[in-house]
Amino acid sequence: MPETTRLTPLAVMLLATLREGDMHPYELLRLLRDRRDDRLVPLQKGTIYHTIARLEREGLIAEVGVDRDGNRPERTTYRLLDAGRDAVDSWVRAELPQIDRPGDFRVALAEAHNLDRDDVVALLDRRRELLVASREVHRDGLSRARERAVPHQFMVEVERQAVLLDAELAWQDSLRHGLVTGTLPWGVDGLPSHHQRLHVSKETLA
């Protein structure tokens, strides 16, 4: 993949889903919608077809066949290439430690299972350092504002962010504990069979 190319979150999710097997764009769209991944990225048919075409041009996926079902239009099936697999892993490694792009972080977290357990722990540890630093900035700002008798109404957003940072750190520490102790199944060993995985639904997460 060219160094100047940056994957969109949708592209990452499409590539990651193709790890499960060869699929055509409509099948990818249906599967992502069934899993309610529209919580993370917009799932528009035209955008998905456009993204698939771009991924093929960039050598991240390849056409492996065309089929027709009755009177329906032909459907082209695509396969994930090694370059596409590497691109997903690189993107997740870049975004998982970040705290300033929450949308990208959610996608990176959703696809973090593609990385080794130890890699995820190390990346989350880097993210924790940023979260702690941000929390201290918010706490210091609140303390100075109170000393200056800044009206409370001007501080409610900062207070909310401080509370959210506390919650984020508590959640991340819990996740890290599961990864380090092995109580959280991870990677290939934590997955059901290919057939079962392909039909996992996230409707309960809506």
Chain segment 44-72, per-residue pLDDT in tens: 999 999 999 999 999 999 999 887 666 66
Residue 17 and residue 85 in one domain = yes
State the DSSP string of 98-124: -SS-HHHHHHHHHTGGGS-HHHHHHHH
Q: Is the dihedral of CA 141, 146, 151, 153 positive or negative?
A: positive
List the helix and strand counts (H, then E) for the chain: 8, 2
Distance between CA 144 and CA 128 in Å, rounded?
A: 24
In a domain, 3, yes or no: no
pLDDT of 206 > 90? The answer is no
Range of the domain at 184: 116-189
Residue 102, pLDDT score: 93
pLDDT category of residue 81 using cuts at 50, 70 and 90: very high
Residue 197, pLDDT score: 46
Residue pLDDT, tens place only, 130-187:
999 999 999 999 999 999 999 999 999 999 999 999 999 999 999 999 999 999 999 8
Tokens of 100: 């300033």
The H or E element containing residue 79 is strand 75-80
Residue 82 and residue 148 in one domain = no
Residue 14 and residue 87 in one domain = yes
pLDDT category of residue 6 using cuts at 50, 70 and 90: confident
Residue 86 and residue 129 in one domain = no
Distance between CA 57 and CA 1 in Å, rounded?
A: 10
